[in-house]
């Protein structure tokens, strides 16, 4: 019901509160900050390429409007944000992405899926897939309960996702021999992407890359 009412109300930009658009032009410019940058992880970043990924791309830092938009999407269920956010990801990938046969969303925890009723990474992947003309395979699932990542230290996070993901039994054909591009809303240490990559390679993926809307340092 709340979502139905929200859909009837004029949107307000989560980044600045301005009414009228789901995201205003100024906040969109923040989200597009890295659009023209060269591909790959810039030198001097504390965390380089996550293990197992041939390429990692993201659109902007996880701060300001990006953080506000993702909070509005995930916690307020403002699903009108899916299109503009996915458009940023598709534009960055179209500019910098190398290869890629299929988009695979990083699966949300089952408990959170039940609570929210949607998986933001899947929605972003489906919208970006349409824009990029790439198929989307919901090929991964979480293998076991993993503690909430944000509650753990950086090192504990890296260990926490080892073996945490598996390729769904019905999906190996969409993965074997394919170049997978993982899709998530935020990347922090890259440990989640690495955990997914491990499972995908075990199912015969030819290569694994990743795209996120925002990167948290
Ligand atoms: Zn704004």
Q: Which residue has the higher pLDDT, 1 or 157?
A: 1
Give the predicted TM-score (pTM) of the model: 0.88
Q: Are strands 179-187 and 207-215 parallel, antiparallel or unpaired?
A: parallel
Q: Rounded to the nearest whole angstrom, what is the distance from the C-alpha of residue 11 to the centroid of ligand 1?
A: 11
| pLDDT confidence tier of residue 173, bands split at 50, 70 and 90 | confident
Q: Rounded to the nearest whole angstrom, what is the distance from the C-alpha of residue 25 to the centroid of ligand 1?
A: 7
Q: Which class is domain 2-39+50-215?
A: alpha beta
Encode pLDDT of 118-152 as tens digits.
999 999 999 999 999 999 999 999 986 555 556 66
Q: Rounded to the nearest whole angstrom, what is the distance from the C-alpha of residue 70 to the centroid of ligand 1?
A: 13
Q: Which residue has the higher pLDDT, 217 or 159?
A: 217
- 């039940």: which residue's tokens? 114
Residue 178 predicted with pLDDT over 60: yes
DSSP class of 162: T
Q: What is the pLDDT of residue 200?
A: 95
Q: Rounded to the nearest whole angstrom, what is the distance from the C-alpha of residue 61 to the centroid of ligand 1?
A: 16
| pLDDT confidence tier of residue 76, bands split at 50, 70 and 90 | very high
Residue 101 to residue 83: CA distance in whole angstroms? 21
Per-chain mean pLDDT for the chain:
88
Q: What is the pLDDT of residue 146?
A: 52
Q: Rounded to the nearest whole angstrom, what is the distance from the C-alpha of residue 43 to the centroid of ligand 1?
A: 30
| pLDDT confidence tier of residue 41, bands split at 50, 70 and 90 | confident
Domain ranges of the chain: 2-39+50-215
Q: What is the pLDDT of residue 183?
A: 98
| Mean pLDDT, residues 172-181 taken together | 90
| pLDDT confidence tier of residue 77, bands split at 50, 70 and 90 | very high
Q: Which residue has the higher pLDDT, 37 or 181?
A: 181
Q: Rounded to the nearest whole angstrom, what is the distance from the C-alpha of residue 26 to the centroid of ligand 1?
A: 6
Closest CA to 90 of 48, 35, 42, 47: 35
Contacts of residue 118, Cβ cutoff 8 Å, sequence gap at least 6:
77, 79
Q: What Cα–Cα distance (Å) separates residue 143 from each residue in 108, 109, 214?
A: 11, 10, 25
Q: Rounded to the nearest whole angstrom, what is the distance from the C-alpha of residue 65 to the centroid of ligand 1?
A: 7
């Amino acid at each position: 019901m709340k979502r139905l009412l929200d859909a009837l109300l004029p949107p307000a930009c989560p980044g600045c509160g301005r009414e009228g658009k789901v995201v205003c032009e100024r906040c969109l410019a923040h989200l597009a900050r890295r659009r023209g940058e060269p591909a790959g992880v810039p030198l001097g970043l504390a965390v380089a390429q996550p293990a197992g990924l041939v390429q990692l791309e993201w659109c902007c830092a996880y701060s300001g409007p990006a953080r506000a938009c993702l909070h509005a999407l995930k916690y307020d269920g403002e699903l009108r944000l899916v299109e503009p956010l996915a458009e940023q990801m598709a534009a960055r990938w179209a500019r910098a992405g190398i290869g890629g046969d299929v988009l695979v969303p990083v699966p949300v925890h089952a408990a959170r899926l039940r609570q929210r009723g949607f998986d933001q990474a899947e929605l972003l992947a489906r919208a970006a897939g349409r824009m990029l003309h790439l198929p989307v395979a919901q090929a991964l699932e979480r293998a076991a309960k993993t503690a909430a990542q944000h509650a753990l230290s950086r090192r504990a996070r890296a260990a926490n996702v080892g073996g945490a993901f598996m390729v769904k039994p019905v999906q190996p054909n969409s993965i074997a021999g394919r170049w997978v591009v993982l899709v998530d809303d935020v990347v922090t240490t890259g440990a989640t992407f690495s955990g997914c990559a491990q499972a995908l390679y075990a199912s015969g993926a030819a290569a694994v890359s990743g795209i996120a809307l925002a990167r948290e340092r």
